[in-house]
Amino acid sequence: MAVLDIKKYPDEVLKKKAAPVKDVNASVLRLVDDMVETMYAAPGVGLAAPQVGVSKRIIVIDVSSKEEKHPLVVLINPEIVAAEGSVDSEEGCLSIPEYTAVIKRAERVVARGLDPEGNPVEIEGTELLARALQHEIDHLDGVLFVDRLSPIKREFFKKRYLKTVMRDV
């Protein structure tokens, strides 16, 4: 297993729609292992393949430090098939370090995809797991949490964040 580099905003791979995984094979499983290792090392509660520069529809999530009842989630080709309720909560992202914003998300979601053995699975999430599922699946569609801000807040973020990023280069 390896800790991979996490791509940072405004890297182009973060804006692309990721391709579906056609076959759950050894290279996909190696990527999943590396993504899990990278997520824990970051540390974060979720990671999508585009965040490590691979434009494939794979996510890993572990909210167990915050919600004991949820083990590691690995979903290949995930999609949200049901959503209900609405809740505003603060979000951050490993690809946009040191920036958080309050984002409106569904309160409860059901996601469907494949597990690492290639079997169909369905996962119901509430609270942090629901938020993480929506956030990571957004990554697969080239959507960052800052894209969900109002236009004014998004412009303010871009100016402020890019100024900070350019200063640190």
* DSSP letter assigned to residue 149: S
Q: Is 124 in the active site?
A: no
How far apart (Å, rounded) are the C-alpha atoms in residues 17 and 140? 6
Query: Catalytic: which of 67, 79, 127, 136?
Result: 136
Tell me how long the chain is. Answer: 169
Cβ neighbors of 134 (< 8 A, separation 6 or more) are: 80, 83, 105, 106, 109
How far apart (Å, rounded) are the C-alpha atoms in residues 88 and 70? 21
Place of tokens 């999508």: 48
Say which amino acid occupies 118: G
Place of tokens 């609270």: 127
Q: Would you please indicate which residues are annotated as catalytic (active-site) residues?
A: 136
